[in-house]
Amino acid sequence: MNTHANHIIHEITPLSDKDCFYIAERYKKEFTYPIHSHQEFELNFTEKATGVRRIVGDSVEVVGEYDLVLITGKDLEHVWEQHECKSEEIREITIQFSSDLFFKSFINKNQFDSIRKMLERAQKGICFPMSAILKVYHLLDTLATEKEGFYAVIKFMTILYELSLCDDARTLSSSSFAKIGMHSDSRRVQKVQDYINDHYKEEIRLSKLADLVGMTSVSFSRFFKLRTGKNLSDFIIDIRLGFATRLLVDSTKSVAEICYECGFNNLSNFNRIFKKKKECSPKEFRDNYRKTKIVV
């Protein structure tokens, strides 16, 4: 097991080059493993874990009875913390698999299109709704006890395929925190996203973005909301917060320095927005990450 300079653990997993995936099924009373990252992709399922706090990148959420998350970001920090969980019957199933499980010519076949898109989205972490969990629960429930390796692989592929058909899966970490580029099917949206990503430290005017794509401000605002699901001001705030949370984790800069470096022009406003979006202050966010950065 290796550690980064900033003390985030980089896990060396037990996955062998000759295996398609590694699965660990555990029954336990508490989560004790510190925040970490690893090269392998990971599908993690928890049951009877109400009150556990899940951190994936800059996403911090308290989970319910069931939780299913896919992470394919190789440097995306994640951890499940005990937090307020009182259960003594926690069940956790962790499946780790290599990024080259689907070699390039294979994953690009039409039949794997939905899986490929899901794996790309999961670079920021994906959380699946209860409807998707119910569809794959029996497969997850029996995967660890499948005696025939070939059928275990088929079962695992089926799990991934069924999950890839879910329309309600949520991405967790922000792109800027996860250091993942944003991609849009719309050429105009992509152009605007790239501009915001490059100029987030500066004042960004609606009129400038509208001019970039040859639209009026009113038409552009409506178009952007329709194509991204967010209004422009919220989108810009989320990008800036992603960079801010990354600096809170990776640097020793003060909250005020980070505020102004990430395009916010008022410290109290930054603190207010941060707390509203993250449900904690910037200092609490930093302290929580440091608390879980245990060197082992």
Q: Write down the CATH superfamily of domain 181-292.
A: Homeodomain-like (1.10.10.60)
Which residues are registered as beta bridge partners of 47? 66, 91
Residue 33 C-alpha from the chain's centroid: 18
Question: In the structure encoding, which two tokens stand for residue 89, read together?
Answer: 């019957």
Hey, what CATH class is 2-171 in?
Answer: mainly beta
Residue by residue, pLDDT tens for the chain (296 residues) are 444 445 556 666 677 777 889 999 999 999 988 888 888 999 999 999 999 999 999 998 999 999 999 999 988 999 999 989 999 999 999 999 988 887 667 777 788 899 999 999 999 999 999 999 999 999 999 998 988 889 999 999 999 999 999 999 999 999 888 887 777 778 899 999 999 999 999 999 999 999 999 999 999 999 999 988 889 999 999 999 999 999 998 899 999 999 999 999 999 999 999 999 988 999 999 988 876 544 33
Task: Identify the residue whose tokens are 């899940």.
Answer: 54
Q: For residue 288, give the 3-state DSSP assignment.
A: helix
Distance, CA of 121 to CA of 164 (rounded, Å):
10
Residue 76 C-alpha from the chain's centroid: 7
Domain chopping of the chain, boundaries: 2-171, 181-292
Distance, CA of 247 to CA of 280 (rounded, Å):
16
| Pairing mode, strands 90-97 and 78-81 | unpaired
Domains 2-171 and 181-292 fall in the same CATH topology = no
Residue 128 C-alpha from the chain's centroid: 12
Determine contact, residues 90/30, Cβ cutoff 8 Å. Answer: yes
